[in-house]
Structure 1
Amino acid sequence: MAVVDCSNMAEQPKNPHDAYFRHVMSEATAAAGEVRSVLPEAAAAHLDWDGMELQSCSFVPKELRSRYTDVLFRTRWDDRDAFVFMLIEHQSSSDDLMAFRMLEYMVAIWNRYLRHNQHVRRLPVVIPVVVHCDPRGHRWSAPTELGDLLDIDPGMRSALGDCLPRLRFLLDDLGAADAAALRARKLSVTAKVLFVSLKIGPGNSRLGHDLLPLEGELRVLIEDYPGEFDQVMAYLWSVGKTDVAGFAPLIDRLGPRAKEIVMTTAEKFRIEGRTEGRAEALLDQLGVKFGAVPDGIVERVRGAGAGRLRVWGARVLTAQTLDEVFAE
């Protein structure tokens, strides 16, 4: 099988929606189930689903990674190379230029392929999939066809005909499906929990009740997938509004191990929240004393632990420059 250059390594997304999506969809079985749910059956029959291999690449530019994350798999289409490219979009409004962005990413995949397979005279198929997950439940409203982005009148469109570029990406709009429909999909357990959590998690103050239909799947995660229920709870705690008491209906069903994980997650986020507060307070102090704080310092402060923040906070009282605050 030919290779694709993956020197542009994917970073772990900082947005909780993206981080959870990448964690689950980086597993081939989960990704295969999702793509098969949106791909026409006639096309799905030709792909080697068991041979999907994750590529450690990201084609989303750094400035857009707060809005999207992507995963790329290499596989075979009958006896030919093929790629499956998945991107999740979690904005509160659809990206009108998504079809153009997907074309850019596909061209980037082909360019990387050609750099490492210079003998080929044909390009591998790239199957583009966009998963739309609006935290407020809004449906996708932007074009999925590249041709629909072209600013031409019907007469010009007809005259140019096949000269116009054509591309349509596969769209999985979670806003158009309810939680019951997502539970009914033929997905891996981890993927099913992912999509339902993406659907019902943000802003939800009743997760202990609303997750009860997933009791069976969550029990499987606890018993057979070490660490996966922890991932689910970390995501739900990040985006939801349910406190420990609110998770009681679910904990009562799932037992002591679930309770332990919920309590551990709650404590972790309590500590992280306190550390985040310290970081923001320190940045306020730095701004008052030294003026505008450089982006590099802001990132350093927000990424620091509680101990380091205490040291820097004490230095602010006597330091004359930023360098004195952050001297090693």
Structure 2
Amino acid sequence: MPRMSTPDGSYKWLFGEPRLVADLLRAYVPGPWEQADFSTLERVNASYVDERERQRHDDMVWRLRVGQRWVWVYLLLEFQQAVEPHMALRMLGYVALLAQHLVRENQRNDDGSLPLLLPVVLHSGEARWTAPTEAAELFDDSLPTLLPYVPHLKYVLLEQARLVRHEVPATANLAQAIFELEQGQSREELSRLLQALQQWLADEASAPLRRHLTVWLKHWLRRSRRRGRILDELQALPDLLEPTMKLHEKLDRWYDQAVEEGIEQGQHQGLAKAVALQARLRFGELPDWAHARLAAATDAELERWLAGMLSATSLQDLLS
């Protein structure tokens, strides 16, 4: 399977699920998560306004209890392929706005301190991230005595393409499985991942999450370069991860059909090239109408033209 980035709403919707965010933190973000109560993880209103009075509904802000304290997580999904060189500055602004929002809403700790704010950037592009993750690195450092006054903020960078290991996660982790699927390279690898997802989400309480994952999986299937008649069948199913669904068998059929149709297409194109080459040798360069005729021809027509190449008196006679 080719690698694919995911600039679509289904991906943002997917990471609006608490279980996905919890698994993302557990697997990839350093923190005292053994002390965390993930049952308290909740998405909070992120519609505070920026300096241009535009609401940032796409960004995700979560909070959860870690020990006796709340930790707020600012999760930014970055889909663009090009690296954003000033991302640290952007995150500094977003976190400052969130901190001001917490002060206005009196969301401080009992001792008056602000809750911990954890900025996380999840980058789904293929290009390696080269921008600084610390805001202070963006400022001039030629005057050392002034450096203590430079703003500091470091964000957690998660580069999706560099998180994968091409294996099923050792423990149930939905975020890891999604990243592995995005970067999957073989039929066997994808089949194992989909079967693992079915096992992890087999209980009835996971039915809503299965349906959300189904929406993402359908987008993922449509983005694939592989086609196949079974795609229409899969798109019509309401729950691709339903426990009794033999999804790995459907995946095998999808691969087989795609390969079969690819072979058929390749054979047809090869036959059309052979006719075009022989016609060019016999009658000279082909006009546009002849190219169009060859492109629309069936296998039977191409075979007939190839057999009649020597007896044809003209190109029009051959392609009639």
TM-score norm. by structure 2 comes to 0.59
Q: Is the 8 A contact 2:60 2:74 kept in 1?
A: yes
Cα distance in 1 between the residues matched to 2:28 and 2:176: 14
Match of 2:41 among 44, 52, 55: 52
Per the alignment, residue 131 of structure 1 pairs with: 122
1:3-37 Cα offsets, whole Å, 9 max, x none, are xxxxxxxxxxxx95452333222222221121122
- Unpaired runs of 5+ residues, structure 1, are 1-14, 201-205, 264-328
Q: Name the CA distance, whole Å, in 2 between partners of 1:234 and 1:198.
A: 13
Cα pair 2:42 2:62 within 8 Å, conserved: yes
Q: What are the ranges of 5 or more consecutive residues in structure 2 without an aligned counterpart?
A: 235-239, 255-320
CA contact (8 A) 1:74 1:82 kept: yes
- Tell me what 1:244 maps to: 228
Amino acid at match of 1:132: H
Structure 2 Cα separation of the partners of residues 241 and 60 of structure 1: 40
| Contact 1:32/1:49 (8 A) holds in 2 | yes
Rg: which structure is higher? 2
- Which is richer in helix? 1
Q: 1:237 to 1:119 in 2, by over 3 A?
A: closer
Q: Which residue of 2 aligns with 1:297?
A: none
Is the 1:86–1:128 contact (alpha carbons within 8 Å) kept by the matching residues of 2?
Answer: yes
Distance in 2 separating the partners of 1:33 and 1:256: 23
Secondary structure of 2:166's partner?
Answer: helix
Classify the secondary structure of the residue corresponding to 1:211.
Answer: helix
Q: How many residues align?
A: 230
Instruction: List per-residue Cα deviations over 1:24-56 (Å, max 9, x = no partner).
Output: 222222211211223334x33454333111114
Contact 2:195 2:247 (8 Å CA) reproduced: no
Q: Equivalent residue for 2:267?
A: none
Where does residue 308 of structure 1 map in the other structure? none
Post-superposition shift, 1:138? 2.1
* Residue type of the alignment partner of 1:19: G
CA distance in 2, matches of 1:60, 1:132: 23
TM value normalised by structure 1? 0.58
Q: C-alpha separation between the residues in 2 aligned to 1:259 and 1:60? A: 46
Is structure 2 residue 159 aligned with structure 1 residue 169?
no
Return closer, same or farther for 1:256/1:197 CA change in 2, 3 Å cut-off: closer
Structure 2 counterpart SS, 1:227? helix
- 8 Å Cα contact 1:130-1:171 kept in structure 2: yes
Q: Distance in 2 between matches of 1:237 and 1:193?
A: 16
Q: Is the 8 A contact 1:207 1:246 kept in 2?
A: no
Residue 254 of structure 1: how far off its partner (Å): 5.8
Contact 1:60 1:70 in 2 (8 A): no
The answer for the alignment partner of 2:27 in structure 1 is 37
Contact residue 33 and residue 186 of structure 1 kept, 8 A: no
Once the 2 structures are TM-superposed, how far is the Cα of residue 88 of structure 1 from its aligned partner? Answer: 1.3
**Hey, what does 1:215 align to over in structure 2?**
194
Residue 180 to residue 118, structure 1, CA distance change in 2 (3 Å): closer
Superposed displacement of residue 130, structure 1:
0.9
